[in-house]
Amino acid sequence: MTARVTGCARLHFGFQNLSPERERLFGGLGVALDRPRVVVEADPAADVRCTAAASVDDETVAAATRYAERAAALLEVDGARVIVERALPRHVGLGSGTQLALSTLAAVARAHGREPEIRKYAGRLGRGRRSGVGIAAFEGGGFVVDGGRPTEAYPVEGAADGVSSVPPVTVRRDVPEEWRFLLVFPDVPPGKSGNDEDASMRAVLRRADPAIADRLGATVAQRVLPALAEENVARFGAAVSTVDRLNGLWYADEQGDTHRPPVGRIIDELADSRGVFGVGQSSWGPAVYGVTTTTHADAAREAGTRALERTGVGGDVMIAAGRNRGAITDENKINRKN
């Protein structure tokens, strides 16, 4: 049986708390996007082999191979022939690692007629140590807030590579159909990942101001969630921009400013653009997002292109919709070819 899985990118707006002085750490919020996507295909086999389309780089193939080997071990199956047909840009703020890991797990499981059990195995694939947004986006799409982790359960120094559970979803809502997201990808080095990201996060946790967490909690509860419930795009955009800026205060020492250079200049260029209702940096960047609508999408795209030109940075611009369904359902999110 051949299984083909399509996973979605996600934006990460930030965390609600990074101070060990509060009861729970992290608590991410973000949104699933309909593009770009990752596509992984698998057939059952006696061992694990992984290949990819010409557009997929060698490092992605190597990562997919590791995920497939781990998935086969966790599922107690022999192996699989895995093909990565499409991959997300790596380490730009779209959740490429989590989406590749979970898509590979799901493809291998389905190829063997098994349920992927995403929440059971995600942590054992090294995903969900801090944020549960990407896992929740894979499962059900939409706008997501996760509950983070009890502070005493997450060692600030030397956090473990794997975890047995992932952060629970506390809020999940559909993204309004008319909303769109401007994506700007500047041609600069990728964001932090792996050991560098772990070291930076530990440094942030050690000195995070707990007062920022209090402001973030109020922003999420009193501004972000009501704006989403009322489908008020202007208020939602302004609220997630506030979440972005407050998170940037925590990260400033680790990334060189409230936003990593030159992302801050791009955000400044976009801040007052017509049709862009909120702007920020997704995760460690360098991806920049803007909140817009179908009516304003063309103006937002032009603003993104102009922002790159004015900052003297090359790059790409696209418009994405929210994705209100996950990669796996009982219907057609995994397409099997016989």
pLDDT in tens, 216-264: 999 999 999 999 999 999 999 999 999 999 999 999 999 999 999 999 9
Average pLDDT (206-216) is 97
Q: Are residues 100 and 227 in the same domain?
A: no
How much of the chain exceeds pLDDT 90, in percent? 89
Whether the pLDDT of residue 333 is over 70: the answer is: no
Is 129 part of a structural domain of the chain? yes
Last residue of a domain, one of 137, 172, 207: 172
Q: What is the pLDDT of residue 272?
A: 87
Query: Would you say residue 100 lies in a domain?
Result: yes
pLDDT recorded at residue 43: 95
Q: Is residue 333 part of a domain?
A: no
Query: Do residues 42 and 120 both lie within one domain?
Result: yes
Domain identity same for 168 and 197: no
Q: Give the pLDDT score at 62.
A: 97
Determine whether 20 is exposed, middle or buried from the number of CB atoms within 10 Å of its CB (0-12, 13-18, 19+).
Answer: middle
How many CB atoms neighbour CB 336 within 10 A?
12
Full-model pTM: 0.94
Rounded mean pLDDT, 307-313 = 96
What pLDDT is attached to residue 338?
Answer: 31
In this prediction, residues 201-221 reach a mean pLDDT of 96
Does residue 330 sit within a domain?
no
- Give residue-wise pLDDT tens across range 11-45: 999 999 999 999 999 999 999 999 999 999 999 99
- pLDDT, tens digit, for every residue of 160-195? 455 668 999 999 999 999 999 999 999 999 888 988
- Residue 327 inside a domain? The answer is no
Q: Is residue 336 part of a domain?
A: no
Give the chain's largest Cα–Cα span: 57
Range of the domain at 100: 2-172
Is the domain of 180 the same as that of 292?
yes
pLDDT for position 337: 38
Does the pLDDT value for residue 63 go beyond 60? yes
Which pLDDT value is given to residue 154? 83
pLDDT at 153: 84
* Residues 30 and 77 occupy one common structural domain: yes
- Considering its fold, how many domains does the chain have in total? 2
63 and 137 in one domain? yes
Q: What's the average model confidence in pLDDT over 47-52?
A: 98
Domain CATH code at residue 211: 3.30.70.890
Nearest one of 288, 226, 303 to 13, comparing CA atoms: 288
pLDDT at 329: 37
Domain ends where: 172, 204, 228? 172
168 and 187 assigned to the same domain? no
Q: Please check whether residue 301 lies inside any domain of the structure.
A: yes
Residues 305 and 280 reside in one and the same domain? yes
Query: Does 29 share its domain with 156?
Result: yes
Q: Express each pLDDT in 147-158 by its tens digit.
A: 999 999 887 775
Nearest to 88 by CA among 110, 55, 111, 121: 55
Confidence at residue 156, expressed as pLDDT on a 0 to 100 scale:
75
Calpha distance 186→67 (Å, rounded)? 29
Q: Which of 35, 26, 29 is nearest to 242 (CA)?
A: 29
Report the C-alpha gap between 160 and 101 in whole angstroms. 18
Is the pLDDT assigned to residue 334 strictly greater than 90? no
Mean pLDDT of the chain: 93
Are residues 262 and 249 part of one domain? yes
Percent of the chain with pLDDT over 70: 94
Residue type, 208: A
236 touches 224 (CB < 8 A) = yes
Domain for residue 8, yes or no?
yes
Same domain as 130, residue 46:
yes
Q: For 309-320, what is the mean pLDDT?
A: 97
| CATH number of residue 116's parent domain | 3.30.230.10
Q: Is the pLDDT of residue 336 over 60?
A: no
- The reported pLDDT for the residue numbered 332 is 35
Residue 104 and residue 241 share a domain = no
